[in-house]
């Protein structure tokens, strides 16, 4: 069992809501290498031999278990690229808790690029939770560029719940999903930027199988001089249903660009998109002010409820 320093423990508290523990199925990546990991009867984690990363094998006997695979970067000037592959057998039910936190107290940029691929078997049900977080008093940037690739077999269900908490100076997220018949995808993306931070999120959802469905919800708040771009795309290649919804609150001198795209390539493909960008509702602010809250406190409550 590895001994963790105070910074690592603090960052893990932010990115692993369930509380990271060195038990069950887990892998902790720290400053570019695997610090510790464990297996269970139904879940096996193996380090890759050809490049940085792990292979996670989840058997069909897995019912209700969790896998925790956090990443902590606390060294200034590090660039960490890792490839993680998940092989989920038919009928498995599992929750995968990931996330990356960067503590940068130096003057050089720290960056983590996590490329995750999920191979989801028939009738499997997977929930993937990912949190991104940055902190540290240094002038070096905290950069996170995740790539998520999901391959869904027939009747599988995949829930993708991603959150960028705060402190990430630059992020470029790429999500690619390929769906077979009667598979169901649920995506919830929550993001906040401030200062001069930038965030770009690209999604390509290919609904290839008849009866497949996808629901993508993106909610964001942009403050100060930050910049956000969202480009979710749903491609209907069969009888399918998809709904894309992007809602953003813009504040101060921020900029938000939302580009939902729908592409129907089959006569029975039903795809809907919605996008809304606006400031905080003044009536809500006034109402909270009447309860004795300052404008700053009222804004914080509205933003918290909007993102949650």
Tokens of 82: 């890792």
pLDDT at position 180, please?
Answer: 98
Would you place residue 11 in the very low, low, confident or very high pLDDT band (cuts 50, 70, 90)?
very high
Cα–Cα distance, 29 to 72 (Å, whole number):
6
Place of tokens 């009447």: 290
With a pLDDT cut of 90, the percent of the chain lying above it is: 82
Query: Degrees (nearest 5) of the Cα angle 293, 297, 299?
Result: 115
Calpha distance 53→59 (Å, rounded): 20
Q: How confident is the model at residue 281 (pLDDT cuts 50, 70, 90)?
A: confident
The mean pLDDT of 17-39, rounded to a whole number, is: 89
Q: What is the pLDDT of residues 201-260, one digit of tens each?
A: 999 999 999 999 999 999 999 999 999 999 999 999 999 999 999 999 999 999 999 998
Provide the pLDDT for residue 307: 80
Tokens of 202: 């690209």
- The SS3 assignment for 238 reads coil
d(CA 17, CA 97): 9
| Residue-level pLDDT at 302 | 79
Q: What is the value of pTM for the model shown?
A: 0.94
What would you measure as the largest C-alpha separation in the chain, in angstroms?
62
Which helix (H) or strand (E) element contains residue 282?
A: helix 282-290
Which is it for strands 53-58 and 93-103: parallel, antiparallel or unpaired? unpaired
Residue 175's nearest CA partner among 124, 137, 130, 109 is 130
Residue range 147-204, pLDDT digits in tens:
999 999 999 999 999 999 789 999 999 999 999 999 999 999 999 999 999 999 999 9
> What is the phi/psi pair of residue 17, to 5°?
-60, -30
* Residue-wise pLDDT tens digits, 265-278: 999 999 999 999 99
Q: pLDDT tens, 66-90?
A: 999 999 999 999 999 999 999 999 9
Handedness of CA 25, 29, 34, 36 (dihedral sign): negative
Give the model's pLDDT for residue 1: 66
Average pLDDT in the chain:
93
**Angle, CA 256 vertex, CA 252 and CA 260 arms, to 5°:** 155
- For residue 172, what pLDDT is reported? 96
Residue 41: its pLDDT value, please? Answer: 97
Predicted pLDDT of residue 17: 73
DSSP-derived 3-state class of residue 32: coil
Query: pLDDT-based confidence at 299, cuts 50/70/90?
Result: confident
Mean pLDDT of 300-304: 80
Q: Is the dihedral of CA 152, 174, 187, 165 positive or negative?
A: positive
Q: Which of the 8 DSSP states describes residue 292?
A: T
What share of the chain has pLDDT > 70, as a percent?
A: 100
Spell 71-96 as b/e; 16+ CB within 10 A means b: bbbbbbebebebbbbbbbbebbbbbb
> What is the Cα–Cα distance from 276 to 288, expressed in whole angstroms?
23
């Amino acid at each position: 069992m590895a001994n963790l320093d105070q910074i690592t423990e603090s960052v893990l508290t932010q990115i692993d809501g369930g509380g990271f523990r060195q038990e069950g199925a887990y892998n902790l990546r720290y400053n570019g290498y695997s610090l510790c990991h464990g297996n269970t009867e139904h879940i096996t984690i193996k380090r890759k031999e050809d490049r940085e990363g792990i292979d996670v094998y989840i058997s069909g006997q897995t019912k209700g278990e969790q896998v925790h695979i956090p990443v902590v970067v606390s060294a200034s000037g590090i660039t960490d690229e890792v490839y993680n592959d998940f092989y989920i057998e038919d009928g498995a039910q599992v929750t995968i808790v990931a996330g990356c936190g960067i503590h940068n107290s130096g003057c050089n940029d720290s960056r983590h690029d996590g490329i995750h691929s999920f191979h989801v078997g028939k009738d499997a049900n997977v929930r993937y939770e990912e949190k991104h977080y940055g902190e540290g008093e240094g002038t070096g940037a905290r950069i996170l560029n995740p790539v998520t690739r999901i391959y869904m077999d027939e009747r599988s269900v995949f829930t993708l719940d991603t959150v960028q908490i705060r402190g990430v100076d630059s992020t470029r997220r790429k999500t690619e999903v390929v769906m077979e018949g009667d598979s169901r995808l649920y995506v919830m993306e929550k993001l906040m930027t401030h200062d001069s931070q930038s965030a770009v999120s690209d999604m390509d959802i290919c609904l290839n199988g008849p009866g497949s469905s996808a629901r993508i919800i993106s909610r964001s708040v942009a403050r100060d001089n930050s910049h956000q771009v969202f480009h979710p795309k749903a491609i209907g290649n069969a009888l399918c249903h998809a709904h894309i919804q992007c809602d953003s609150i813009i504040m101060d001198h921020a900029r938000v660009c939302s580009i939902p795209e729908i592409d129907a390539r089959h006569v029975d493909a039903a795809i809907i998109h919605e996008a809304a960008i606006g400031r905080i509702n003044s009536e809500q602010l006034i109402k909270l002010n009447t309860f004795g809250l300052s404008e700053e406190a009222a804004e914080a409550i509205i933003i918290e409820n909007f993102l949650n």
